[in-house]
Amino acid sequence: MVGIVIVSHSQKLAEGVVEISRMMSEKTPLAAAGGLEDGSLGTSYEKICAAIEKVYSADGVLILMDMGSAVMTTEMALEYLNKENIKMIDCPLVEGAVLAAVESAGGRTLEEIVERVEETRTAKKF
Amino acid sequence: MDNKKILAIISAIAKKIESEKDFLTELDNEIGDGDHGINLARGFKSVEEKLPTLADKDIGAILKGVGMQLVSTVGGASGPLYGTAFMKAGNACKGKSQLTDAEFASAINAAIEGIKMRGKAVEGEKTMLDALCPAYKALKDGIDSGKNLIDALKDGVDAAAAGVEYTKTIIATKGRASYLKERSLGHQDPGATSSLFILQSTLEVLRGA
């Protein structure tokens, strides 16, 4: 199964998105990388790398993040890890994460999940 | 310029950022998330602690080490941005234990290109680039026209200061301040300001030599 990592400035937000996603798919490997080591607001390179490692398998990892340093710090982690099967995706954090978790549990490949989750960019709530 | 001078510059930057921490955070409170000073000070403090382990390395390795430390410890956008800048500058100085004035300018250019790449940003968006790009241009022009490094860098610092002033007159279109749209007008950019401090600290060390 493809692993999912949620990167946020806030530990609570990252853990909350993981919590909501898990409601839909208990089996999916999900990891939160939120806040700094001391729990304060910010994005942590170490936490991102550790979260990726936690859910990594040959099936790959998809990373969703909030904005700014979350995006840039994730980019740097990916440049360092330099693996084809770890991807970051630009999409709404909650809707994207829920869908990614469901698709992962359904046995989709990383490429299929990316394609599906990209559709949430234009999805409307009402 | 040798690796001892580079270490002195890094140390001077760390002290400057620490002493301006509250001012940078105040600026960031106005148009951002209020963490720029705190984040950068945390990053440079850990850089200063790491400097002894880099002391006998070449200039490229020192700058790369500084960049990696910033990425690991800053926690805000300035971490990956300045981190990438120092790492790219390090790449440009790979294996070197001496830099000519032209090589020093090239390293600054590599750093700026790194920030543009990482931030997907250009000049005029109310970011650190509005201080750094004019500074590099003035520095490069000075060196090309035969000025010594100190005079050329003085032109660079003046250009960066003018760039910081310019950020008051434009609306942010990158970074957290862009959420404020026209309410970002009238405020100087915290990132451009910290870039100015970095250049000022560099000049002060060179002048002290």
Residues constituting chain B:
209
* Contact B77/A at CB under 8 A: yes
Positions in chain A short of pLDDT 70: none
- Chain A residue at shortest CA distance from B81: A72
Contact call for A44 and B75, based on CB within 8 A: yes
Q: Hey, what amino acid is at B111?
A: A
Q: How far is B76 from chain A (nearest CA, A)?
A: 5
C-alpha closest to that of B13 among B195, B148, B152: B195
C-alpha A106/C-alpha A124 separation (Å) is 23
- Chain B residue at shortest CA distance from A35: B75
Q: How far is B149 from chain A (nearest CA, A)?
A: 33
- Contacts with A17 (C-beta within 8 Å, 6 or more apart), sequence order: A6, A8, A32, A64, A93, A94, A97
Both tokens assigned to A40:
């304060």
User: Which tens digit of pLDDT belongs to each residue from B167-185?
Assistant: 999 999 999 899 999 999 9
Contact call for A76 and B80, based on CB within 8 A: yes
Q: How far is B193 from chain A (nearest CA, A)?
A: 18
User: Which tens digit of pLDDT belongs to each residue from B93-130?
Assistant: 999 999 999 999 999 999 999 999 999 999 999 999 99
Cβ–Cβ pairs < 8 A, chains A and B: 44
- Domains within chain A, CATH numbers bracketed: 3-122 (3.40.50.510)
C-alpha closest to that of A5 among A50, A43, A36, A42: A50
Nearest to B80 among A36, A40, A69 (CB): A69
Average pLDDT estimate for B38-62: 97
> Per the CATH hierarchy, to which homologous superfamily does domain B3-208 belong?
DhaL domain (1.25.40.340)
Q: In chain B, what are the domain boundaries?
A: 3-208
Residue B127: the pLDDT is 97
- HEC secondary structure over B86-132: HHHHHHHCCCCCECCHHHHHHHHHHHHHHHHHHHCCCCCCCCCHHHH
Residue B209 pLDDT exceeds 80: no
C-alpha B60/C-alpha B57 separation (Å) is 8
Contact call for A72 and B80, based on CB within 8 A: yes
Q: Report the first-to-last Cα separation within chain B, whole angstroms.
A: 10
Q: Which residue of B25, B36, B39 is the best one to mutate when testing the A interface, meaning the one whose CB has the most A CBs within 10 A? A: B39
Contact call for B83 and A43, based on CB within 8 A: no
Residue B44: the pLDDT is 98
- The DSSP H or E segment spanning B164 is helix B149-167
Residue B42: the pLDDT is 96
**pTM value > 0.90:** yes
Contacts of B76 in chain A (CB under 8 A): 42-43, 68-69
- Tokens 């620490």 sit on residue: B18
Contact call for A42 and B75, based on CB within 8 A: yes
Query: 3-class SS at B51?
Result: helix
- Contacts with B182 (C-beta within 8 Å, 6 or more apart), sequence order: B171
Contacts of B81 in chain A (CB under 8 A): 72
Average pLDDT estimate for B191-201: 98
| Residues of A tagged active-site | 9
Residue A24: the pLDDT is 87
For A88, which DSSP code? E
Pairing of β A61-65 and β A86-89? parallel
Q: How far is A36 from chain B (nearest CA, A)?
A: 7
Query: Is residue A66 a contact partner of residue A93, using CB atoms and an 8 Å limit?
Result: yes
Query: Is residue B12 a contact partner of residue B204, using CB atoms and an 8 Å limit?
Result: yes
Across the strands, what pairs with A4? A30, A62
Contacts of B82 in chain A (CB under 8 A): none
* Contact B127/A at CB under 8 A: no
Nearest to A72 among B35, B39, B77 (CB): B77
